[in-house]
Structure 1
Amino acid sequence: MPWNFDNSIPIYLQIMNEIQRKIFSSELHPGDKLPSIRDLAKEANVNPNTMQKALQELEALGLIQTERTSGKFVTEEEAKILQLKESYIEDKLKPFLTEMKKLGLAKADVIDRITRCKEETT
C-alpha cells in the first residue's frame, strides 16, 4: 500500500490517522497482529522512530496493545474501538459543519447536498 504524506501535517499523525482508519473501517480487526515497527516503517518509507511514535500514541489511546515477545495487536475491546470511532467521526465532521453554517446552509440543505453528492458518486 502506498503511503502519501502531506508535508503540512506531522508524519506520525498521518500514520496514526491511517491506522485508525483501517481499524475503524474493519480493514484491521480486533486482535489482528500488526507488522513489526521496522516492517511498517519500511513500507511507509519513514524512520522507525516516527513509526514507533505513531504506534505509542495509538497505544496510549487504547487502539493497540503490546504483548511482550509477541508484538503489537489491535485491541480486542470492541466498545473502545466504537467509542474512539465515534469521536474520530465527530472530529472530522465538526469543521465541515462549522464551515457549512458560515456559508449560510441550513441542516436540511447540507443533508440534501450530501445526498445528491452521494448519488452522483455511486
Structure 2
Amino acid sequence: MAIALEHINFIVRRLTIEEKYPGGWEQCLIDHASSLGTRVWYDEHLFRDGAMNPIDMENLVNAWRDIGFQAVLINGEKKWLDCCVIDENFETLSLSCDWIEIDITGEYAFLKDEDPSEIVGRHGF
C-alpha cells in the first residue's frame, strides 16, 4: 500500500509509532480521531499528517519531537530518522530518508521494499 501526498506531508512508520508514541498505535488513533480522513490517513505501514504551510509543519514536527520522536540525525549528514517531511510542491523529501520512497509523479509515498499498488488518502479513507 501507499499513502497519498497532499500539500506538506508529515510521515511516520507505524512500527515507530507503536514503539515511541505514548500509548502506542491505539492511542495515536484516539488522539488523531478528529482529523482522520481530513488531514490524517494511514496504511498498514505509514501514518500521514499534514499542513498547508511551513510554520504549521514546523509546529507539527516539534510536537512529535516533544513526545520522543527524533526528527533529524546529524552525524556529518542531516537526514530524517523517526519521521519525515515531504513537500508536495517539490515532490521530494526536504532531507533524505532511508525508509520511504516517493513515486515518480510525486502523488504518493510508500515504505521501501513494499508494494505501492493501493493508495490510501483523503478520498475513500
Say yes or no: TM over 0.5: no
How high is the TM-score relative to the length of structure 1? 0.27
How high is the TM-score relative to the length of structure 2? 0.27
More helix as a share of residues: 1
Task: Give 1 or 2 for the bigger CA radius of gyration.
Answer: 1
More strand as a share of residues: 2
